Structure 1
Amino acid sequence: MQLRALRYFVTLAREQHFARAAEACGVTQPTLSSALVALEEQLGKRLVERDRRYIGLTEEGRAMLPWAQQLLAAHEGMVHAVEALEGPLHGEFRLGAIPAAMPCIGQFTRTLLSRHPGMTLSVRSQTSREIVRAIEAYEIDAGVTYLDHESPSHVISVPLYAERYVFVSLNADNQHGSNEIVWDEVARQPLCLLHQGMQNRRILDGLLSAYGISVTPRATADSYIALLAMVRSGELATVMPERYLDLIEGARWAGIRPISMDVPVSRIGVIVGDRAPLDPIAAAALDCARRIASDAPID
């Protein structure tokens, strides 16, 4: 059984489209299709339902998929383990990160690439649930996500920092670092927030509920860039993680006020799959996280 055919099979299951899967694998569609047919003939089972287009995996294909994912991951881990004996790692590091954690990606990038100059980094913006699913499916090597709310299972985690919130609105006077605002006052503003598929929004809703407050935002989005663009239009305000202040520092249109909070809302950290043996790339992610956390102790 060729690893190449297994890789095509796993990629097709992820992309759910023959042309996209072939492009992701760097081959032509006929090459991918013929390799899958050969794999099916070798197993004596039909793995993919198709009628001129991809329909889905058969029952046998769905049963085989997690084992194919594990086989490919084990092969990559074996290569990494041998490579690690000779020095820094090489290849692509795949990182999933929730939008709330994007401001810390620069620090992670600097730490990883300085310790492993032969590596490249691919960052994907994902929800916390997508990160856990992608780790389980061996589609990413590590994730940066929440650790305390809807806590991910079967992972090894290293906390990076504790999240706090700030209130951002349009302010011609460039109000910054002024008096704190309380949640009751925040809830009375015309708000734009992340949609409820994002864990940050679910955390925020839970926090407000504890104060007996509920909000109905005028607009929702899946990125803080979109929220900031809405705020700059002058009609709306938003709530976002304090870490985003570094990215909008010097933006004269932004009026920023800290929100009165007794304790940080949640810890954000790096997670990898809890597997043995641990892939050296996953171990490198944890090493980077520990170094970052030691440079900036958690609140």
Structure 2
Amino acid sequence: MQTRLVEYFLALERERHFARAAASCHVSQPSLSAGIASLEEQLGKRLVRRDRKFVGLTPEGEAILPWARQLVATADAMGQAAETAQGPLKGELRIGSIPAAMPVIGSLAEAMLSRYPGLNISVRALTSRQIERDLAAFELDAGITYLDFEPPAHALSVSLYSERIILVSAVAGIPIPDPLEWADLAQLPLCLLHQGMQNRRILDSRLAERGLALQPRVTADSYIALLGLVQHGRLCSIIPDSHAALLKGLEWVRTCPLPDMEEGSRVGVIVADSAPLGRLAQAVLNVARELRLPPEFLGT
């Protein structure tokens, strides 16, 4: 069985469209269709439902999907292992990161590129659940996510830092109680991440432990959006303290630590727990173990 035919099948499942799948594989649409038909003939099963256009996968197509992903990932890993057996690590390192951890990407990428100059790095902003799903589907080599709250399954991990949270508001905006208490948060006009984001679920859990619940006026899926809302002065927000360094020099912004902070939420690098472990995954873990982060990630 040719791996290329399986790649055609996976591209079609991903794109849900014959022309787009062919373009992503850099072949003509007839070549892709013929390749998938050849794969179906080899397996003796119809894999794709068609009605002049892509309709979906058959039950047999759905059944082979995880095996197809594993086969292509294994073939790629074999090729990389052969190419780099006695040479430097090369290729594309695909990293998915939760938005809360984006400030640490610079430190990790710099360390990876310094040690492995032949690498290219692709970074995607994803939710923690998307990171787990894409690692399992061999669409990511590594992720950066929370390690303790809803811990990732079937993953190897290295802790990078412990995240704490801060209140952020505009200097000329709404007044903030001093000292700030947890109960005050429920009275403030807030903009927060939506509940599909793990950072928000952790925050809600901490408030629930204190018998409190937040009702934000606005929700969003990025900290850039939240800061844009805060800048106008009517709202305030809660963000990770690792983002505080990105706010330095902005005259309009005011930050305030939240009271009685216990241990923070651990954030770290994860890779799929598989054997053998790919060279890219092993390289990320090795670099993460030795990574020295700036003071803002260490609470100093």
Task: Describe the SS at the equivalent of 1:200.
Answer: helix
Distance 1:179 1:93 in 2: 46
Higher alpha-carbon deviation: 203-212 or 53-62: 53-62
Which residue identity lines up with residue 145 of structure 1 in the other structure? T
Distance 1:166 1:88, change over 3 A: same
Identity score, percent? 51
| 1:99-110 aligned within 5 A | 99-110=99-110
Give the conservation status (yes or no) of the 8 Å contact 1:84–1:280. Answer: no
Q: CA RMSD in A?
A: 2.0
User: How high is the TM-score relative to the length of structure 2?
Assistant: 0.93
Give the conservation status (yes or no) of the 8 Å contact 2:142–2:271. Answer: yes
Task: Describe the SS at the equivalent of 1:122.
Answer: strand
Match of 1:255 in 2: 254
Match of 1:64 in 2: 64
Cα deviations by residue, 1:29-82 (Å, 9 ceiling, x for unpaired): 332222111211222211111212222111111111111111111111212222
Deviation of 1:166 after TM superposition, in Å, equals 0.6
Task: Describe the SS at the equivalent of 1:260.
Answer: coil
Give the conservation status (yes or no) of the 8 Å contact 2:46–2:58. Answer: yes
Cα deviations by residue, 1:220-276 (Å, 9 ceiling, x for unpaired): 011111111111122211000001111121111111111113323310000001111
Give the conservation status (yes or no) of the 8 Å contact 1:95–1:122. Answer: yes
Match of 1:206 in 2: 205
Which residue identity lines up with residue 16 of structure 2 in the other structure? Q
Count of equivalent residues: 296
Higher alpha-carbon deviation: 227-236 or 257-266: 257-266
Which residue identity lines up with residue 236 of structure 1 in the other structure? L
Higher alpha-carbon deviation: 267-276 or 252-261: 252-261
Task: Describe the SS at the equivalent of 2:4.
Answer: helix
Give the conservation status (yes or no) of the 8 Å contact 2:190–2:237. Answer: yes
Give the conservation status (yes or no) of the 8 Å contact 2:185–2:214. Answer: no
User: How high is the TM-score relative to the length of structure 1?
Assistant: 0.93
1:245 counterpart = 2:244:
yes
Higher alpha-carbon deviation: 14-23 or 274-283: 14-23
Task: Describe the SS at the equivalent of 1:236.
Answer: coil
Task: Describe the SS at the equivalent of 2:111.
Answer: helix
Distance 1:293 1:277 in 2: 28
Distance 1:2 1:160, change over 3 A: same
Distance 2:54 2:264 in 1: 44
Distance 2:260 2:85 in 1: 48
Cα deviations by residue, 1:202-235 (Å, 9 ceiling, x for unpaired): 1110011011110111010111111111111222
Give the conservation status (yes or no) of the 8 Å contact 1:179–1:257. Answer: no
Distance 1:264 1:39, change over 3 A: same
